[in-house]
Structure 1
């Protein structure tokens, strides 16, 4: 079948899946995800993979959403595939965290996928994004203003997330569903043009097809393909240039040679600045405005000698060098201790971060590896309440997950090459025996890891800002 060949080629081209993997398939019940599941079922023996279905009921469409969940359960049963099905109050989450409905749904959904990865012991999450979604994303990014990365659109592979249908059109998927006798659900929210993406799909693209280019989707996909290749090349060149202009890389700072930086082409200058900031801050995505301010500083166009950047970073000109350093370094060490609300949220004003906790019942995760660095899961029954969050103390001992034995926390920090300036600002979650449960953003303790006997899980998540400004 043509569809199977196309998806097979996409999987191979982007090295999405390897033999022996367990693939978690995100299934909403709509045509894209239902087709994806059916295709992977047909290819699983050839690919030598196991499958698991994941579905999240967002509780936004009442009985319709409940019916979607039942449909997905039945579908998984028909294929004899295990399913992880949960529900979440996205509307409440949106209100609590001050997000748009689209942002809230996306954040809740990816948190669910992270949990489901662990639940299933899966290696990859396969999502149903297809070629039309790609075109709509490129157009959406273009409208907001973007660089090559935004014009490249949705990456076929991002970390553990893969998109086997990214080169298949919506029409091809609809035809496939008909030919296979599949009866996917219809999500009425996809018709609501209050959502920007729906308006692009239902109004803007048809208008562009009608008035300007009847093959606009193919044109946008071509643009994305071109930009993906050029973005990869420029990133490679920027990395080489960054190494060339790097004067010093210490525990406390990144130092660039200004003259060498300003001799680079402007496009590479911007990327080098982003790389330096990313390495200093541990974050990604420095906005264009901030990049331009750094370059103005380096060329002495704004008369300033330093400026503050997101991520608590200061860019500073020192003679012939441009220094990126943590502004917190100026403050020196500080100390705090707070009782942790379980479940709930504890704000740490010294760090301007919030530590959120949840308790998950009847959970059988054995693989916590699917969680990002700012999240952690531990066996609730193995820690002794009350829990506290505090800074390090002299003589702290840690039993890192995955390593045998205990060691001084200071030695652990040295082993992971944590800069000295960060050690006094790393939140430690400890139980009432002062055992370190989680070195925030780094690693949990081995004594409270999840096992096959785990039935109650403590989920922890660090987020910037106070609870009202997630």
Structure 2
């Protein structure tokens, strides 16, 4: 098919009409050699001019709408009009014609462009669109293709992730590839295996999806990854977090940008997306049945609670989006103050509670904490405000918080155990031996005390081992009777003949204490 013709601009129509009206009818008549005829001709021409002027005046009076249509001084006509139909991507200009974009899709593209501007996405950026073939991602893909044609964005590619959670993955992949061909965009796909690891299926699928999107973005060289979250998704998120008792950071909802992830449709409602797709001819979008499954909280919020609340406030989505924007602004102020607070118990306790709690939360998340709730943050706050100056710790999802002589630190959960189990090699005639982290109540008979049993905690104090080193101290335990034959920072037990070394170093070379327990000294 050939490319559809562009309609002529209104200024061109005005120019052609004006020249046709101003042309004298005498210029269209044959010349006459007779002087009388010339005079008659001149008179006739004069009468014709008068009739033309009369007709023109009558036409102005009879058809004011036509003259307004060609009035180039109108401010409406001076405003730039979008090309019609949608310009094609360079790869399609050889023969395939895309359906004309409608005014609703044009408005969606304009709002997406404004969102890209606010998110700091530069002109010409390469955009990978996360696309499932559903309504939101289809509208986003069409809007990004539009902006690419206009020069606001660079190349656009669609990325599909198959979670393997339901049948039809091949059909979805083919539908996304067909949409990409229609838009003149690239297409990529990856299958992932979702592992819940004790968490919810939704969270596990989300983590797997974003990991796959980042891999595809790296492979394609994308500057940003665009997802199809809408204002309706924002409303659902804010309401769900209200139900869970979220504070200001939680009510900020879905961010416009986080790293390379951008969400350009946060100012567009799902109803606007559906209307734009219907008018643009995208009637064959896919529908995820999980979005209507009442087992999931978001589905219940979307199909039960929000419709009931919209009866009270038809503009509920916009209202909740405004709540999210206001909360995000307040969260930014809170973060600004929290990041300037020293991570010391005294400083955190002296700060306003909102600032101190946010400082602890940010530090824990930076160390790898996941999904911290209000109860976790309150426990952290109590740990920081403990009146005693001793050592205490708190287990959190993904990290362990440690308070030691007024200083606060966070370390990955299981780091000490993993280091104890994997880093030491122990050899001796009474083996095998197990390596673990020491525990309160552990006792041993150190060589320097000639077999007298003492608590390890007391031995650490006697040896002046700093508290920050005691927490992760390792011990070697004889498997046959569970006796500790060696302790880090202390050395071997009385009579023990063990060789202890860091794995990868020379056997028997303990960097802290000799491995020979003696017994003959």
Query: One fold, TM greater than 0.5?
Result: yes
Q: Counterpart in 2 of 1:75?
A: 179
State how far apart, in whole Å, the 2-side matches of 1:309 and 1:181 are: 54
Once the two structures are superposed, residues 220-255 of structure 1 have per-residue CA deviations (whole angstroms, 9 ceiling, x without a partner) of 111101100000011111222x1xxx3xxxxxxx6x
Quote the Cα distance in structure 2 between the aligned partners of 1:161 and 1:114: 9
Does 2:355 correspond to 1:268?
yes
Q: Is the 8 A contact 1:297 1:317 kept in 2?
A: no
Deviations 1:97-117 (A, max 9, x none): 344332232222122212211
SS of 1:10's partner is: helix
Asked whether the equivalents of residues 56 and 88 of structure 1 are also in contact (C-alpha less than 8 Å), the reply is yes
- Extract unaligned runs of 5+ from structure 1: 247-253, 339-348, 352-390, 396-470
Give distance in 2, aligned partners of 1:291 and 1:189.
32
Q: Which residue among 307, 313, 319 is the counterpart of 1:219?
A: 319
Partner residue of 2:310?
209
Partner-residue secondary structure (3-state), 1:313: strand
| Paired position in structure 1 for 2:296 | 195
Rg: which structure is higher? Answer: 2
Distance 1:168 1:288 in 2: 31
Match of residue 136 from structure 2: 32
Corresponding position: 1:324 with 2:409: yes
The structure with the largest strand share of the pair is 1
Residue in structure 2 matching 1:309, options 368, 372, 395 = 395
The residue number in structure 2 matching 1:42 is: 146
Structure 1 residue 295 and structure 2 residue 400: aligned? no
Shift of residue 58 of structure 1? 3.0
Partner Cα distance (2:358, 2:386) in 1: 19
Query: Is 1:52 matched up with 2:157?
Result: yes
TM-score (norm 1): 0.61
Could you say which structure has the greater relative contact order, defined with CA pairs below 8 angstroms and 6 or more residues apart? 1
Q: Deviations over 1:249-290 (max 9, x none)?
A: xxxxx6x161x43332111121222344456x3546654334
Following TM superposition, by how much is the alpha carbon of 1:159 offset from its aligned partner in structure 2, in angstroms? 0.9
Determine the structure 2 residue equivalent to 1:157. Answer: 257
Alignment check: 8 A CA contact 2:252 2:324 kept? yes
CA distance in 2, matches of 1:194, 1:168: 27
Distance 2:199 2:402 in 1: 30
Length, aligned pairs only: 323
Alignment partner, residue 126 of structure 2: 22
Kept after mapping to 2: 8 A contact 1:33/1:128? yes
Task: Work out whether residues 297 and 305 of structure 1, in 8 Å CA contact, stay in contact via their aligned partners in 2.
Answer: no
Q: CA deviation at 1:322?
A: 3.8
1:2-59 per-residue CA deviation (whole Å, 9 max, x = no partner) reads: 22222211111221x2234321111111111111111111111422411111112333
Structure 2: gaps of 5 or more residues: 1-105, 425-434, 438-501, 507-521
